[in-house]
Amino acid sequence: MSLSYEYSVGSVRAREKSLLTGTDVEQLLACKSESELCSVLRDKGYGEGDSVDEILADHAEKTWEYLRSVAPDFEIFSPFFVGNDIHNLKVVLKGTMSARKYEHLLLKPADIDTDILVKAVENRRFSQLPEWLAGDAEKACELLLHKGDARESDALIDAAAMKHMLELSKSYKSEFLQEYFRTLVFYNNIKIAVRSANTRVTANFLSSALCEVKDFRKKTVTDAVLKGNLLDELSKFREYDCDKAMEEFKKSPSDFERFVDNKLILLAKDCCKRASEGAEPLLGYYLACEAEKKIIHIIASGLRTDTPKEKIRERLREIYG
């Protein structure tokens, strides 16, 4: 029997009741150790495992199983897999060249089969990879081999990923999906520019590293990086609330990261939680789970480093639930 979005929306609305609430987050914050955090998560039925990473991995696996079982068109999640594909390529490239084990670092789900990825890198046959990635993957490999330039190698691959994310998001009838990835790519560009402003880069590097996206002024940003007045220039941008993001960056880079994460999840909350049809409720549920994962990681990291509770709370992101 083929699935319908009417069925999927009803299913995901019921499933949303299991998402973390503000009260749940406070309970997690009250934990005094990572082992206690694991115990609370297991008691909530969040996942199984002896560590936070194992519990989150178990939860992620079950989330994808659920989404596969209810999504009429599971390929609508493909733009989100691109990040894992790119991560895996970087891991295989660097692991192969350094002769270090890397299998435990590979991420799922991914569109590119890891066996194909490994063979393409080991045999230098990048034509086996998808067309959107093959050429840049080969160039990235050459940069690592002959120049040892990991930064430019990563930049090439990241730019290819951003372009592909945008193209994929346009192929589905979801205004939310397009807006989400435009926002994501816009801020990825900003992050690249900010990092570049603190190092010596060329206009050619920025041309290949930054991705064209609606309302991103690539030339203006490039000129500002090279002239050394990037933050002042970005503070004038109102697109995607960039001016507000820069106010947060001036407080601290972590405040900026929090602002961006919150902007993305609030976009999902505004568009997907209100939707009564189509794929948006499923996309929103997936992003809600990703937001929860980040919150749990932040709390776990704070417990490992004996960070005061208030400091941990300041780093927490918005939740979808």
Residue 69 lies inside a defined structural domain of this protein: no
d(CA 114, CA 106): 8
Structure tokens at 145: 């081999």
Residue 267 lies inside a defined structural domain of this protein: no
SS3 content of the chain, % helix, strand, coil (to 5): 75, 0, 25
Residue 274 lies inside a defined structural domain of this protein: no
Domain containing residue 145: 77-172
The CATH number covering residue 129 comes to: 1.20.1690.10
pTM value is: 0.94
Residue 106 lies inside a defined structural domain of this protein: yes
d(CA 142, CA 230): 31
Residue 118 lies inside a defined structural domain of this protein: yes
Q: What is the pLDDT along the chain (321 residues), one digit of tens a residue?
A: 467 888 999 999 999 999 999 999 999 999 999 999 999 999 999 999 999 999 999 999 999 999 999 999 999 999 999 999 999 999 999 998 888 999 989 988 899 999 999 999 999 999 999 999 999 999 999 988 888 888 899 999 999 999 999 999 999 989 999 999 999 999 999 999 999 998 889 999 999 999 999 999 999 999 999 999 999 999 999 999 999 999 999 999 999 999 999 999 999 999 999 898 999 999 999 999 999 999 999 999 999 999 999 999 999 999 997
Residue 206 lies inside a defined structural domain of this protein: no
Residue 85 lies inside a defined structural domain of this protein: yes
Residue 102 lies inside a defined structural domain of this protein: yes
Total domains in the fold of the chain:
1
d(CA 85, CA 162): 12
